[in-house]
Homo-oligomer: A and B are copies of this chain.
Amino acid sequence: MSETEKKGFACLDRQRTERCGWPEVIYGEGKTAPQIAAIFRELLAAERGGAGLPIYATRVDAAKAESLLAEIPALHYDETARIVYDHKPAEGKGLVAVCCAGTSDLPVAEEAALTAELMGACVCRVFDVGVTGIHRLLAKEDVFHKAKAIVAVAGMEGALPSVVGGLTAAPVIAVPTSVGYGASFGGISALLAMLNSCACGVSVVNIDNGFGAGYMAAVINAQSVA
């Protein structure tokens, strides 16, 4: 019985790498720093004897991260992405493009980008290219043509994935963000717009789920360069 099971707050899924190709990722929200640390230790130990893939936790705020790094000094923290991780893979493969519409979408976009990097992808960031200044977006068209998968992040009217989807053959993972006010309803506006995109090859993840989009893009990218 592991430390986490003895303490009763988690029951780690040890066969996950075998079934799904990647070890469990720690969802930091609603867990204490000591709980996250305990899970880190268990997963690091397991992975050390295995493929040596990166272990990381998402949704870790600055205060928790500080405690965590105090307890396990070998860890690293990216404050924008709110991710704590043990190491990055040596060099990225393929290409995942991560674009976002505005400055406020950066944390979600960066969560996607870092996730994809931790899963072995080469990542190109194309930030602040909202559709109301369409020429800025079109200036980056070649990136969208080279990418194996694209993450498109936007709040408010959520139009970015539709325009990007019309420019490329690559699959687009759309991420609505909770950026906006009034009738944006915490991201519902952007979510609905993305689900109703006229562009082909666009699918959607939950509001603010940068991790989910980065994971999906990295899996597609990895398959495509295998």
Q: Does A45 contact B (CB under 8 A)?
A: no
* Inter-chain contacts of A128 with B (CB < 8 A): 9-11
Q: Is the CB of A200 within 8 A of B10?
A: no
Is A129 interfacial (CB 8 A cutoff)?
yes
Q: Considering the chains assembled together, what is the distance between the CA atoms of A159 and B102 in angstroms?
A: 16
Question: Which residues from 187 to 226 on chain A have a C-beta closer than 8 Å to any C-beta of chain B?
Answer: 187-209, 212-213, 215-216, 219-220, 223-224, 226
| Given A132-B165, A157-B158, 17 additional A-B pairs, CB 8 A | A10-B128, A19-B166, A19-B168, A22-B169, A30-B104, A30-B179, A134-B134, A159-B193, A171-B219, A182-B187, A183-B188, A201-B215, A201-B216, A203-B204, A204-B205, A223-B223, A223-B224
Determine if B203 and A11 form an interchain contact, defined as CB atoms under 8 angstroms apart: no
Contact B216 A195 (CB under 8 A): no
Hey, which bits of chain A sit against chain B, CB under 8 A? 8-11, 13, 15-16, 19-22, 25, 29-31, 35, 101-104, 106, 127-136, 138, 148, 156-159, 162-163, 165-171, 173, 176, 178-209, 212-213, 215-216, 219-220, 223-224, 226
Q: Are A25 and B184 in contact (CB under 8 A)?
A: no
CA distance A132 to B189 in the complex (A): 19
- The answer to whether residues A25 and B183 also contact, given A134-B134, A193-B189, A223-B148 and a CB cut-off of 8 A, is no
Known: A103-B30, A159-B163, A179-B30. A196 touches B205 (CB 8 A): no
Copies in the complex: 8
Closest B residue to A16 by beta carbon equals B133
Minimum CB–CB distance from A136 to chain B (whole Å) comes to 6
Task: Say whether, besides A101-B198, A102-B198, A20 and B168 are in contact (CB < 8 Å).
Answer: yes
A192's partner among B25, B103, B134, B184 (CB-CB below 8 A) is: B184
Task: Choose among B158, B180, B207 the residue that contacts A182 (Cβ–Cβ < 8 A).
Answer: B207
